[in-house]
Homo-oligomer: A and B are copies of this chain.
């Protein structure tokens, strides 16, 4: 393979890492699997990411940006501020139904490495904090009381974990109904 630009190699490595780590679990994927899937040589891989843990970190970080970007894009297609909140759960349902869906990458990573890698834990916390903050913005924009945020967040997290375990998109609909009921309670 011809000389490969550093940035391109990095993207290819992260593309392979994302597909393999998410699909098979992080510990089940070796650096050599990443090399084979990406076409980036081991030497290059270790130039870009001095250790596997940093590749994992970069994978979670890039996925976080994309994930929240796609969610925000979908939500912004709705006008009414309350509809936007419910749209979050519509988007979840769509996500759960995608082929290859295996649950939330961050929750899974936490289960795998939460006790071992503090860098992974930091990524997971940061992602969840950002998601919660996004919900808080939606709640505020709708003029709804702030305590609603945490409840919506828990519904979304419960839906993600349950959809992963049961391999059905159904939990998103249940969560959406619960969210709708909560919007105007008390």
Contact = CB atoms under 8 A, between A and B. Distances in A.
A154 B153 CA distance: 11
Interface string A102-118: 11000111111111100
Contact of A24 (B116, B154, B182): B116
Given A116-B25, A158-B153, A165 B125 contact: yes
Interface in A158-177: 158-162, 164-166, 171, 174-175, 177
Interface-centre pick from A24, A109, A121, A161 (highest chain B CB count, 10 A): A161
Contacts of A114: 25, 102-103, 108, 164-165
A35 interface: no
Given A28-B116, A185-B182, A154 B155 contact: yes
A110 B27 contact: no
Contacts of A121: 165
Interface SS, A side: helix
B23 A165 contact: no
A68 to B, nearest CB: 17
Contact of A158 (B109, B116, B154, B164): B154
Contacts of A113: 25
Contacts of A78: none
Contacts of A27: 27, 112
Interface in A135-158: 147, 150-151, 153-158
Contact of A154 (B28, B109, B116, B162): B162
Interface of A: 23-25, 27-28, 102-103, 107-116, 121, 124-125, 128, 147, 150-151, 153-162, 164-166, 171, 174-175, 177-178, 181-182, 185-186
By Cβ-Cβ distance, the 4 closest A-B pairs, closest first, are: A111-B111, A154-B158, A158-B158, A108-B111
